[in-house]
Amino acid sequence: MGTKEIVSTIIAEFPYALYGSIIVGALCAFLGVYIVVRRVVFLGAVLTQISVLGLAITFLPFITVSHTVGSLAVTIIAVIILSRLLTGKKIPRDAMLGFIFAFAIAARILILQKTPKVEVAEIENLLRGDILFVTPELFYLMLGVFIAAMIVHGLFFKEFTYIAFDAETARTQGFNTGRWETLFYVIAAVVIAVATHIVGDIFVFGFLVIPPIAAMQLVKPVKAIFLVAFLIGALTPMLGLLLAFKFDFPASPAIIAVVAVALMLAWARNTLRHK
Amino acid sequence: MTPLIEFQHVTLGYGRKIVLPDINFTIHAGDYFGMVGPNGAGKTTLLRAILGTLKPLSGKVNIREPLRFGYVPQRDTIDDILPYTVQEVVMMGRYRQIGIFHRPQKMDREVVMESLRHVDVADLQNRAFKDLSGGQKQRVLIARALASKPAVLILDEPTNGMDFSSKISILELIHRLHAEDRLTVIMVSHFLDDVANYVKRIAIVERDFFQVGELNEILNEKNLSSLYQMPITVTQVNGKKVILAGERRGN
């Protein structure tokens, strides 16, 4: 199959996979700038695992809520608890996140072992996110989350960036930094929960980290960093899906490989420019 | 003299841990007020209480309303991983006035430039904040505080980690802002020399040794030797106060 035919096939047969991965990529990349700047990259990894745990919980026989609702609820509750736990000084932040990360993975495995509903392999596929079989319902939910998150971030861009840069001074000016932080993390939790259901944990975590770093290598103005990260997040899934079809690769790893190459190119360009 | 900030039997701390018990003092309009003390003694805690970001465990902090603070944090508390320009950093000082849902207007940009000119760094406006020297960064942070049009300028360890000339230059700038603009200034430092030759009134911040008063009545050998639990000599060289560790020898 030629490239043109593959593109036509993807658009015709898997439109939700294509558009879903584009909006997830763009949104995760945009939010990822904050995650990288706040130096809470590990929190991104923890939240993806918690959302996967939330999905796993919905497979327990006595749980009747939908997968998405379960994942959302568990992730939002976790992020609210985390925002309190991480400000404590008794246990280092990294150690706390490491504990939750390990706990979330272990709990998911234990839950799956006791799940009679369907085969574990099928559940694992769902938990990892199967891009090609995104349902219209999930896609439109993600689209709604995308629009809402971008509106909130567009309206409060200066507040979010100020608090990420210097929360202490913002607090002295009367900004309720605790509430702004909670709003940011709840939005991140919702995005991560829904996105993980659609594209899987590796895709989500990869896009929270890689495009922002690539954007920081390519441009200097702060607004441009957000814009370039957003564009890398939006464009690389298309190329990844194309390569996945052409060479018969699984979609998520192919997309991550493409965005990783984008980062390496950005790095190389930056290094050569400063030589 | 108009009292701006008044502490009445204030006890400060976190949870059950008391850091500073039963504090009483007043800061007046036009004061140049220094706060010194060893590391961990409670200077930042006291500052947070003045700024209203820490509620007292008991007692009352009276702030004359409306009182706008211009806060200059310690430089190393700012994580400048994103390459904000100097202009963008100073504009942050206007965010409260600009308000939620609004964007900076022409007037805000003029205030930002006026603040940068006032601290002699207008030529740095398009440079990345993260690429500046320690002294330049401090001036930009002071400009950001001034951009909020404060009545009180509060500086937390403004000369920390600076070389000698940058340190003197920053202290002279702060002095000028106080003398020419009649700004009330509160400066926290653990360098006694920083405050000894600039401020008018001083607080020695230590749990069981909290004292407030005129510079000469507080910054004397007896007080400082008790505070630091070692002999301290206070002397004058070329009309400037010099504080040295060790016993006084001769004159």
- Does a structural domain hold residue A106? yes
- The reported pLDDT for the residue numbered A233 is 97
Residue-wise pLDDT for A35-72, tens only, equals 999 888 898 889 999 998 998 888 887 888 888 888 89
- Spatial contact of B220 and B234, defined as CB atoms under 8 Å apart: yes
CA distance B71 to A206: 38
Cβ–Cβ of A172/B53 closer than 8 Å? yes
- The reported pLDDT for the residue numbered A28 is 97
- Does a structural domain hold residue A275? no
Is the pLDDT assigned to residue A128 strictly greater than 70?
Answer: no
- Nearest by CB to A173, from B83, B88, B148: name it: B148
Q: How confident is the model at residue A122 (pLDDT cuts 50, 70, 90)?
A: low
Q: How confident is the model at residue A234 (pLDDT cuts 50, 70, 90)?
A: very high
Is the pLDDT assigned to residue A126 strictly greater than 70?
Answer: no
The answer to whether residue B191 neighbours chain A at the CB level (below 8 Å) is no
Residue A48 Cα, gap to closest chain B Cα (Å): 24
DSSP sequence for B13-78: EETTEEEEEEEEEEEETT-EEEEE--TTSSHHHHHHHHHTSS--SEEEEEEPSS--EEEE--GGG-
State the pairing for strand pair B32-36/B184-189.
Answer: parallel
DSSP type of residue A1 = -
- The reported pLDDT for the residue numbered A89 is 67
- The reported pLDDT for the residue numbered A139 is 93
Cβ–Cβ of B92/A171 closer than 8 Å? no
For residue A136, give both structure tokens. 């219209």
- Does a structural domain hold residue A44? yes
Residue-wise pLDDT for B184-209, tens only, equals 999 998 888 878 888 999 999 887 88
- Nearest by CB to A158, from B93, B95, B148: name it: B95
For residue B73, give both structure tokens. 């944090």
Closest CA to A216 of B117, B83, B230: B83
Task: Name the domain count of chain A.
Answer: 1
- The reported pLDDT for the residue numbered A59 is 82
Longest dimension (CA), chain A: 62
- Does a structural domain hold residue A83? yes
Contacts of A216 in chain B (CB under 8 A): 82
Within 10 angstroms of residue B164's Cβ, the number of other Cβ atoms is 8
DSSP sequence for A95-162: HHHHHHHHHHHHHHHHHHHT--SS-HHHHHHHHH--GGG--HHHHHHHHHHHHHHHHHHHHTHHHHHH
- Nearest by CB to A162, from B51, B83, B92: name it: B92
- The reported pLDDT for the residue numbered A119 is 55
Average pLDDT for residues B239-246, to the nearest whole number? 84
Residues facing A113 on adjacent strands: none
Higher pLDDT, A195 or B239: A195
Query: Which of B14, B95, B126 is the mutation pick for testing A, counting most A CBs within 10 A?
Result: B95
Domain limits for position A119: 3-270
The answer to whether residue B96 neighbours chain A at the CB level (below 8 Å) is yes
Higher pLDDT, A113 or B4: B4
Contacts of A39 in chain B (CB under 8 A): 79, 81
Contacts of B98 in chain A (CB under 8 A): 158
CA distance A251 to A17: 10
Treating both helix axes as pointing N-terminal to C-terminal, what angle do B164-181 and B134-147 enclose, rounded to 10 degrees?
Answer: 20
Is the pLDDT assigned to residue B225 strictly greater than 90?
Answer: no
Residue-wise pLDDT for A167-218, tens only, equals 999 999 999 998 999 899 999 999 998 998 888 888 999 999 999 999 999 9
The answer to whether residue B95 neighbours chain A at the CB level (below 8 Å) is yes
Cβ–Cβ of A225/B69 closer than 8 Å? no
Cβ–Cβ of A168/B73 closer than 8 Å? yes
- The reported pLDDT for the residue numbered B2 is 87
Mean pLDDT for chain A?
89
Contacts of A229 in chain B (CB under 8 A): none
- The reported pLDDT for the residue numbered B174 is 95
Q: How confident is the model at residue A120 (pLDDT cuts 50, 70, 90)?
A: low
- The reported pLDDT for the residue numbered A162 is 95
Residue A33 Cα, gap to closest chain B Cα (Å): 9
The answer to whether residue B113 neighbours chain A at the CB level (below 8 Å) is no
Scanning chain A, the segments in alpha helix (DSSP H) are: 3-13, 15-37, 41-57, 67-85, 93-113, 120-128, 136-155, 157-172, 177-199, 201-218, 222-247, 251-273
For residues B187, B190, B196 and B198, what is the CA-based torsion angle, rounded to 10 degrees? -30
Closest residue in B to A155 (Cα) is B101
Closest CA to A20 of A206, A226, A241: A241
CA distance B138 to B129: 10
Residue written as token pair 């993600």? A142
- The reported pLDDT for the residue numbered A112 is 81
pTM of the predicted model, to two decimals?
0.89
- Does a structural domain hold residue A232? yes
Query: Which of A152, A158, A175, A180 is the mutation pick for testing B, counting most B CBs within 10 A?
Result: A158
For residue A154, give both structure tokens. 């567009």
Higher pLDDT, B224 or B129: B129
- The reported pLDDT for the residue numbered A127 is 63
A55-59, A140-144, B218-222 — which one is most confidently predicted on average? A140-144
Q: Quick check: helix, strand or coil at residue B143?
A: helix
Residue written as token pair 């200059």? B72
- The reported pLDDT for the residue numbered B250 is 65
Is the pLDDT assigned to residue A9 strictly greater than 60?
Answer: yes
CATH of segment(s) B1-67+151-216: 3.40.50.300
Is the pLDDT assigned to residue B37 strictly greater than 90?
Answer: no
- Spatial contact of A115 and A59, defined as CB atoms under 8 Å apart: yes
- The reported pLDDT for the residue numbered A117 is 58
Residues facing B184 on adjacent strands: B152
Q: How confident is the model at residue B104 (pLDDT cuts 50, 70, 90)?
A: very high
Average pLDDT for residues B62-91, to the nearest whole number? 92
Average pLDDT for residues A102-131, to the nearest whole number? 75
Contacts of B95 in chain A (CB under 8 A): 158-159, 162, 170, 173, 175
- The reported pLDDT for the residue numbered B251 is 58
- Spatial contact of A169 and A223, defined as CB atoms under 8 Å apart: no
DSSP sequence for B184-242: EEEEEES-HHHHHTT-SEEEE--TT--EEEEHHHHSSHHHHHHHHTS-EEEEEETTEEE
- The reported pLDDT for the residue numbered A160 is 96
CA distance B148 to A170: 12
Higher pLDDT, B66 or A128: B66
Q: What angle do CA A6, A12, A16 make, to 5 degrees?
A: 105
Residue A91 Cα, gap to closest chain B Cα (Å): 17
Return the percentage of chain A with pLDDT > 90, whole number. 55
CA distance A266 to A218: 6
Instruction: Give CATH 3.40.50.300 domain extents, chain B.
Output: 1-67+151-216
- The reported pLDDT for the residue numbered A192 is 92
CATH code where residue A183 lies: 1.10.3470.10
CA distance B87 to B89: 5
Residue-wise pLDDT for B122-166, tens only, equals 999 999 999 999 999 999 999 999 999 999 999 999 988 888 899
Average pLDDT for residues B9-37, to the nearest whole number? 93
Treating both helix axes as pointing N-terminal to C-terminal, what angle do B134-147 and B106-118 enclose, rounded to 10 degrees?
Answer: 140
State the pairing for strand pair B184-189/B152-156.
Answer: parallel
